[in-house]
Structure 1
Amino acid sequence: MGLQSDLLTVLGAKTVSAFESIVETRYASLFSELSYSLHNRYFLTGSFRRDGSSRFGINARYGNFYAFSGAWQVSDEAFLKGSNVLTNLKLRLSHGITGNSNPVADYAAYGLYSFVSTPASQYLGQLGAIPSQIPNADLQWERQQTTNLGVDLSLWKRLNVTLELYDKRNFNLLQSVPLPTTSGFSSIARNIGSISNKGIELSLNSRNTTGKLRWETDFNIAFNRNQILALTNNNADIYRNSYVGTILRVGEAVGSYYMPKYAGVDPQTGNPLWEILQKDGNGSVTGVTATSTIGLATLQVLGSPQPKWTGGLTNTLTYGNLV
């Protein structure tokens, strides 16, 4: 600080404003695990943990989480041992619940005040404090419940296959939820509902050639289906930005696009057109018209930002010690 002040004096400058912040996070955890194996073919594992985080409200700071798994090394059974074709076969099953605190920032559950020197925080010309964040004493851990079935398979000691089927469900989903501007605040951190992720993952590794010239191929592909199961505000939609935004809606993927739907160009004027949906008293669509005024267009769910599948293919050639 002394060096900075001396430098500013030499340059003929002075300090107009200064800012300092301190961020602290604390976690407390208790963990236990029990493992058992029989004949090196049957495996069982169970675990339990209790975690606490300063990020959450005083009413729900701690969470209990568990997991258990089992595996069967089928290829070591007498009826498969010694096979030259099926060189490895392992079945795996696991189920458990884990906690997640990352979606929210530190102090997200606290009521905070701002001392920024602005006209809004002054009283009779003196520096004052204004509320800057609404407290949420019930803010708690986001929980992910996962069930996974896996198969590891090797053929001829050349082809390795791994197949995973999973069902992941997140409860007490943590999100920053927009608030009406009349509240004086822009958003609040809340547990807003639950989502589901179901999918399949497949990975293949093959050693195509061996010897001085070696060629290996790696391939993977994954399919995931994401869906919002419930929202705690009576399943009411949560969305941001009126025209180019995203929405949280039961039955849709997280972050689905929510905006006017483009309907082409008016052949008479050349102006862009957007759809207006005509609906009956039950909310069913009875007709579609078009408008050149985007503010009159009907906001619609136009798709998911998440890919239908992801994958990759890699070939590696090695000659001697060169790759």
Structure 2
Amino acid sequence: MASLNDVISDGKIRVSYGTNGTLPSEFYTYMDLTGFGFPYRNNPGMREIQIGNPGLKWEKQNNLNIGLDLRLFERLGLTFEWYQRQSSDLLNDVPTSYTTGFSSYLSNIGTIRNSGIELDLNADILRNGAFKWTSSLNFGMNRNKTIALSDGSSELRDGTQIHRIGQPWYSYYLIEFAGINKETGVPQYYINDPANPGSRETTEDYTAATRILYKSADPKLVGGFTNTFRYKFLDLNFTWTYSLGGNSYDSGAQKTELGGKTGYDNIPKYYERRWQKPGDETDIEMFMVGNKYDMSSVANTRRVHSTDHIRLKNLTFGVSIPQHISRRLKVSNIRAFCSGMNLLTFAAYKNYDPEVPVNGVVYFESLN
């Protein structure tokens, strides 16, 4: 019968707690600033270039981590970690009236909390012969929540996003798209009247619709799967990564969802499935020059897309010169290799790269 020492060859419990601060990205963001280099009618000129915030403070983070490391049968490794990170006096741009000459200023906006788990499994599957195989698999689950806002309010609206107490920080705030009228090809929207909750009444006038909190940018599960194979002087390594449960917002749609309005703009490929005749069932409006029902100015839920994907992140094949030969050349190792990145991607939405910025907003920079 195997003893406990034969099963668990190494074990460790880790607990840590710490606090750290983050400075604003620039040294003088707390000051009202003016700048030169703004001539007026060929005369030297200056203007205000920054709204100051004399009460600006460091962003603070409190981090708690509890982890467990195990090595089983001298072959299988397991690492489990639970963490909670609370950020207070969060540094973020706050929208302000355009009458100031600016759209926002930097402030300590509130408190958010990230908590989650990370699990990593690694194994020496084959290791005693000429052929060796090691593998690792990891999972990560993070939950983000808005805890408080510095002005005491329950929510702060920021363009197409909303920061609401109890909800993820990067939550979308949009008009809810209701589809295309199959008889006329005109877009429809749910009114979502706060005075009549639960009603699914629709309208073709988007100004009559109320925005709603709609999904979040944060994925529910992320991770990767790595394998390394070695046979004599040959080696092969590849890593698959995945992300599930997140969403992106196509901000670039404001430039492309014109439905032929001007007659000379670029046309997205998805307009191939546009409405063309009465009875067509589709999610893309009619296309015609002078179209007054275009959706370019409507921040709506049709622009939100899943970022679910699995990707062959990297693949490397190498050849090493045997050590008895490299030593004769007075070097410890000689290896030639070729490597590729992002060679395969299987994504739920294929019109742009599913690896999007942390806030989920895509503006052409992630287009394939």
TM class by smaller structure: 0.5 to 0.7
Residue segments in structure 2 that go unaligned for 5+ positions in a row: 236-368
Rounded Cα–Cα distance in structure 2 between residues aligned with 1:208 and 1:286: 55
Q: Which has the higher strand share?
A: 1
- The structure that has the greater radius of gyration is 1
Question: Alpha-carbon deviation of 1:236?
Answer: 4.7
1:260 is matched with 175
Rounded Cα–Cα distance in structure 1 between residues aligned with 2:126 and 2:38: 71
Q: TM-score, structure 1 length as denominator?
A: 0.68
Which deviates more from structure 2 when the two are superposed, residues 138-147 or residues 246-255? 246-255
Residue segments in structure 1 that go unaligned for 5+ positions in a row: 1-80
2:161 is matched with 246
2:36 is matched with 115
2:9 is matched with 87
Rounded Cα–Cα distance in structure 2 between residues aligned with 1:254 and 1:286: 25
Rounded Cα–Cα distance in structure 1 between residues aligned with 2:12 and 2:194: 55
1:225 is matched with 143
1:197 is matched with 114
Rounded Cα–Cα distance in structure 2 between residues aligned with 1:142 and 1:225: 20
- Identify the match of residue 311 of structure 1 among 223, 232, 247: 223
Question: Alpha-carbon deviation of 1:191?
Answer: 0.3
Deviations 1:73-124, CA, capped at 9 Å, x for gaps:
xxxxxxxx9811110110011111111125x3342111101323244xx7xx
8 Å CA contact retained: 2:145, 2:165: yes
1:213 is matched with 131
Rounded Cα–Cα distance in structure 2 between residues aligned with 1:279 and 1:172: 32
Q: 1:131 to 1:97 in 2, by over 3 A?
A: same
User: Residue 294 in 1 paired to residue 294 in 2?
Assistant: no
1:285 is matched with 197
- Identify the match of residue 234 of structure 1 among 137, 152, 175: 152
- Identify the match of residue 273 of structure 1 among 176, 188, 192: 188
8 Å CA contact retained: 1:279, 1:287: no
Q: 1:155 to 1:286 in 2, by over 3 A?
A: closer
Question: Alpha-carbon deviation of 1:126?
Answer: 4.4
Rounded Cα–Cα distance in structure 2 between residues aligned with 1:91 and 1:117: 60
Rounded Cα–Cα distance in structure 1 between residues aligned with 2:198 and 2:124: 59
8 Å CA contact retained: 1:164, 1:200: yes
Rounded Cα–Cα distance in structure 2 between residues aligned with 1:82 and 1:249: 50
Question: Alpha-carbon deviation of 1:295?
Answer: 2.5
Rounded Cα–Cα distance in structure 2 between residues aligned with 1:254 and 1:94: 25
* Counterpart mapping for 1:17-166 below 5 A: 83-101=5-23, 104-119=25-40, 126-166=43-83
Rounded Cα–Cα distance in structure 1 between residues aligned with 2:11 and 2:212: 48
Rounded Cα–Cα distance in structure 2 between residues aligned with 1:236 and 1:190: 17
* Partner AA of 2:158 in structure 1: R
Rounded Cα–Cα distance in structure 2 between residues aligned with 1:312 and 1:252: 27
Rounded Cα–Cα distance in structure 1 between residues aligned with 2:170 and 2:93: 13
Aligned residue-pair number: 233
Rounded Cα–Cα distance in structure 2 between residues aligned with 1:129 and 1:118: 7
Rounded Cα–Cα distance in structure 2 between residues aligned with 1:173 and 1:93: 25
Which deviates more from structure 2 when the two are superposed, residues 253-262 or residues 171-180? 253-262
Two-structure CA RMSD over aligned residues (Å): 2.1
* Partner AA of 2:161 in structure 1: T
Rounded Cα–Cα distance in structure 1 between residues aligned with 2:45 and 2:69: 64
